[in-house]
A and B are shown apart, each in its own frame.
Chain A
């Protein structure tokens, strides 16, 4: 579904490349997380998968990016939008401002795609149900809370039924309840395994519990790619700035004291930690 080869990219008027040689392949229905320090290239990778790099931001790009059958470098962003959706971290700035109700906001993208009104209404209502916003259908988007606005952004993109959904730190501005609601929506979407999801996050606990596969970006390069637990355990000894959950750190401290076997793979979640410690 996604193939990236030799991707190098530099934003205009910068000297350092934001992405410095990425090779990556993602299958249909995979749930992939991307972590790394700020500035490592997570957002740039999201933009490269959705065409904003290079079309929106300009800059110099090498290599190839194929997403859902499109050659990203040769396809305008608006044409990609139907197949590859993007949700980013600021809930307020994703409200189009062109529509007065939540339902119409969700349908906005479908109107631009020329979908017939009947199908449009059905898909929009479905997206609202999937995001728990059906009670708010007649409200103005501007009266929603931050967490609700973020779910609205997800609904608006989901209604377009993209085959790939890219989310760039979608919960960074949300409170714990908002974060939980957002991940519940993603879990629902992932269940059918029809949509490929790529998600960048700092909240390692949430991410590790949700994705099958974790990528680590460091200084524009892909330095790790594998199951979340293994990758995060490896990251602990590396200068990648990925961080770790407290579960990982607690068991790491215990391991240093010899309370836990040397070869133990560090846990990421509570259940894994309890298993290791018992």
Chain B
């Protein structure tokens, strides 16, 4: 599921230009992280992928089709979306019904729906909460329910808006494992994140945004070492990059294990 933005400009009715001259292609099966301060245009950009917003100028293509010619409900089958605020979507009386909502909108058989719900909840580690009322869960767990709800739709592409906010260490680790698994399955992933360590570890590609433009777009270790650029976007480099640069290294590492391996090399 390939996602493309061609010369996209987006202006809100208020006159604010949120995106200006943006070109971006996310190939099928790629995992892309979007970083940059609030207001840079990240959320506007990802909303173009499922048709919630249509470009003022330019073209957005999902799997080769112009999004202008498809409805949001149609695009929802191809591009799943997990919003930052889970309370914008939770309305069912049980976690099961909440997660089943999406698949039911796809008119799947009940047996299939049930299987998907259970699998999605397993993926986010909330299987035991299946019968509980979503609002009985704490906010970070509600976020995971929202994520499960999107997973259950089995979309080839998935957009995540700040998935790690409010999660504890175990939650972040579980999300990381989930992202890795989805990537291995061949899903196209786009994630907005402020957690640059998470970004470096789980996403092959990073795009840095500021002021409605993409400042840089490339392999994670390459982009995330450009400290000046990151500062322009009001973000700090990941801790492992800071460490590598502090040691005078030229090559970046993405995980602590890779760090130790490279340290061994350097010391030799």
Contacts and interface: CB of A to CB of B under 8 A. Distances in A.
B260 A257 contact: yes
Looking at chain A, what size class is its interface with the partner chain?
35 or more
A28 interface: no
A18 to B, nearest CB: 11
Contacts of B171: 38
B227 interface: no
A172 B238 CA distance: 17
Chain B binding surface, main DSSP class: helix
B69 interface: no
A198 to B, nearest CB: 19
Contacts of A270: 239, 242-243, 246
A210 B140 CA distance: 25
Interface string B160-174: 000001111111100
A246 B234 contact: no
Contacts of B236: 176
Interface stretch (A76-84, A119-127, A153-161, A248-256): A248-256
Nearest to A147: B38
Interface in A31-46: 36-39
A165 to B, nearest CB: 21
A173 B143 CA distance: 13
A256 B257 CA distance: 10
Given A37-B169, A37-B170, A250 B234 contact: no
Interface string A218-258: 00000000000000000000000111111101101110110
A169 interface: yes
B168 A250 contact: no
A146 interface: yes
B172 A246 contact: no
Interface in A67-122: 89
A24 interface: no
B166 A172 contact: yes
B243 A175 contact: no
A87 B243 CA distance: 33
A37 B168 contact: yes
Contacts of A89: 166
B260 A246 contact: no
Interface in A258-278: 259, 270, 273-274, 277
A176 B37 contact: yes
A186 to B, nearest CB: 18
A63 to B, nearest CB: 24
A241 B170 contact: yes
Contacts of A257: 260-261, 263-264
A147 B167 CA distance: 19
Contacts of B140: 38
Interface string B189-222: 0000010010000000000000000000000000
Given A241-B170, A243-B170, A253-B260, 17 more contacts: A37-B169, A38-B141, A38-B168, A145-B39, A172-B166, A173-B165, A176-B234, A176-B236, A205-B239, A241-B169, A243-B168, A245-B239, A247-B239, A254-B259, A259-B264, A273-B243, A273-B246
3 tightest Cβ-Cβ pairs between the two chains A and B: A243-B169, A246-B239, A253-B260
Interface of B: 37-39, 138, 140-141, 165-172, 194, 197, 234-236, 238-240, 242-243, 246-247, 256-257, 259-261, 263-264, 267
22 contacts: A37-B168, A38-B141, A146-B38, A173-B166, A175-B38, A175-B194, A202-B167, A202-B168, A243-B170, A243-B172, A246-B238, A249-B256, A250-B243, A250-B256, A250-B259, A250-B260, A253-B259, A257-B261, A257-B263, A259-B263, A270-B242, A277-B263
